[in-house]
Structure 1
Amino acid sequence: MAFAIALAAHPASAQLSASTQRGYEAFERLGPHRAFAVAADGKGYWWTGSSGTDPGRAVASATKLCEERSKTKCSLYAVNNVILNGRDWSAATPPESPSIGRLRPEPYWANKGPQAATGLIVWSHGYMEGRDATASSPQGEVAYFTLKGYDLYRFDRQWIRDWPGDANDLANAVRQARSMGYRRIVLAGQSAGAWVSLAATMRGAPVDGVISVSAAHHGQVKDMRDVSRPRSEWQQMVRGIKRGPRLVIVNFKDDAYDVGGRMDDARSAFAASGVDAVVISNPTGFSGHGAANGTAFPQKFGTCIYTFIETGTRQAPCVP
Structure 2
Amino acid sequence: MKEKELSLLMKGMAPVIGALISKSVQPLVDRLAELEQQIADMPVPKDGRDGVDGKDGSDGKDGADGEPGQDGKDAEPVSAEDIAKAVAEYLAANPPAAGKDGRDGIDGKDGAVGADGKDGAPGMNGKDGAPGRDGADGKDGVGLADAIIDRKGVLVLTMTDGRVKELDVVVGSDGTDGAPGKDGSAGRDGFGFDDLDLIEGEEGVSLRFVQGEASKDFALPVVFDRGVYREGGTYRKGNGVTWGGSYWIAQKDDPSKPDTPDSGWRLAVKKGQNGKDLTK
The normalised TM-score by structure 2 is 0.20
Which has a greater percent of helix? 1
| Higher Cα Rg, which structure | 2
Higher RCO (CA-CA < 8 Å; seq separation 6+): 1
